[in-house]
Amino acid sequence: MTILLRYYWIAVLVCFASISAQAATEQSLLVFAGAASKPPTELAAAAFTEKTGIKIDLIFGGSGYVLSQMQLGRTGDIYFPGSSDYMDIAIQKGLVASETEKHVVYLVSAINVRKGNPKGIKSLRDLARPGLRVAIANPEGVCVGLYAIEILEKNLSSAEIEAVRANIVNFPESCEKTATSISLATVDAVIGWRVFEHWDPERIETVPLAKEEIIRIGYIPIAVSSFSKQQELAQQFIDFVISPEGQQFYRQFKYFTTAEEAAAWIGADRPVGGSYQLPESWQPK
């Protein structure tokens, strides 16, 4: 009887271990992410799943739009926007646990054109040339669009801004769609992120802005959502993303992993992060 009982408990333990392993593979985290980090974040998420068995469900889009989805649905484990602007909003609204915020990588604004620069665009003011097709991400919900408007407003005259506005043919709703508009040649230039070139090096080329035209260095933050019911798992993913193991995927796409690297590329120190209020003149009538 004792032997039978022993076998019974062994069987129970084996069964429990099997069920626990199965449950672990069924664990998942929902991440609302700005598309500014999409290519490396997809790779990092896949590596994390392979390592831990925890599935990462990624919802990409404009940082403001995915924040609204998270808020309205009162769901999600992690908020991973493309800039500090939207993380500041999330913190102010109590949508994330502010103490969990970490900086993942750093971004620098640039002009992006087709490979070979067929239109010969060399400067910010060139975007005012008649006949050019320009795209700027929708600044109401996409961080790179907000940075673009800030750059235009703080560097160009009113007449030059109006000339650029006359050339804008599209306001894409995410970083991904902004970069794709260059890849597909639906526009001649965008004010985007320097890393867009490394998303699609065969079709996208970067035209650096003058160092005095760059207002601030952007960074991509990440934090645990206030709606998460599995905050320890969420923190585990954050820790992975900012670890050397996770950072390798961002380096693969030439993201800056320190503010100092970004400043060295610009050739000057600039404020890091911060926020910018979209002027009324750029808001829908």
Q: What are the tokens at 230?
A: 């599995």
Residue 214 DSSP SS3: coil
Q: Per residue in 145-175, pLDDT tens?
A: 999 999 999 999 999 999 999 999 999 999 9
Compute the distance between CA of residue 87 and CA of residue 218 in angstroms, rounded to an integer: 12
Domains, the chain, ordered by start? 27-106+217-266 (3.40.190.10), 108-216+274-282 (3.40.190.10)
Compute the distance between CA of residue 190 and CA of residue 187 in angstroms, rounded to an integer: 8
> Residue written as tokens 């790179």?
144
CB atoms within 10 A of CB 14: 10
Q: Per residue in 80-122, pLDDT tens?
A: 999 999 999 999 999 999 999 999 999 999 999 999 999 999 9
- The pTM for the full model equals 0.88
Q: Please report, for residues 60, 155, 172, 282, the alpha-carbon distance to residue 159 in angstroms, rounded to integers and kept in the order given.
A: 36, 12, 24, 15
> Residue written as tokens 């991509």?
220
Q: What are the tokens at 198?
A: 């490394």
Q: CB neighbours of 15 closer than 8 A, spacing ≥ 6?
A: none
Cα 175 vs. chain centroid, distance in angstroms?
Answer: 8
Digits of tens for pLDDT over the chain (285 positions)?
444 334 433 443 344 344 334 434 479 999 999 999 999 999 999 999 999 999 999 999 999 999 999 999 999 999 999 999 999 999 999 999 999 999 999 999 999 999 999 999 999 999 999 999 999 999 999 999 999 999 999 999 999 999 999 999 999 999 999 999 999 999 999 999 999 999 999 999 999 999 999 999 999 999 999 999 999 999 999 999 999 999 999 999 999 999 999 999 999 999 999 999 999 999 876
